Amino acid sequence: MTHQEPDILLFQGEPVSLAASPLESLFDEENPRPDFISFSPANQRGYVATWEIEKDTLFLVGITGAATFADSADGEPEEIDLADLFPAHEGKIKATWFWGELRIPRGKEVQYVHMGDGSIWAQDLVLEVRRGKIVGSKTVDRLR
């Protein structure tokens, strides 16, 4: 296994890597995870989601990946229509299902963790999210 390809957050006008996978918390017994296809050893989830924050609200704005439900069963990543996952919505999707922290790594990597989001960076900006609303933030500086 290797570092996993991160989701992207459009933050203050710039794309940044996100050490979190907010889409995963949408899936449960009542809303099973769709059949995404891993298209690379660096992407076991089978997708990369793109997020943005607008007026202190987290939105899902795009998904690139491979999925049987999106006619990309050949395993080649492509833009997935959000309507395939959210048929009752158009455009970007307010992430009302997400409660938790969004971690934005900054600076150099100080400790490598082989899989997932566990690597440690010089600094993290941590955004606290409740029902898709940003309710707080803090900076964690690991080099002090």
Alpha helices in the chain, H assignment, sequence order: 82-85
| Local structure of residue 27 (DSSP, 8 states) | -
> Alpha-carbon distance 108 to 90, whole Å?
38
| pLDDT of 91 | 92
Model pLDDT for residues 25-51, shown as the tens digit of each residue: 999 999 999 888 887 777 888 899 999
Contact assessment for residue 99 and residue 25, using Cβ atoms and an 8 Å cutoff: yes
End-to-end CA distance of the chain: 31
Pairing of strands 57-65, 78-80: antiparallel
Model pLDDT for residues 78-115, shown as the tens digit of each residue: 888 999 889 888 899 999 999 999 988 875 665 555 55
> Alpha-carbon distance 132 to 22, whole Å?
10
Contact assessment for residue 129 and residue 57, using Cβ atoms and an 8 Å cutoff: no
Greater pLDDT, 144 or 13:
13
Burial class (CB in 10 A: 0-12, 13-18, 19+), 93: buried
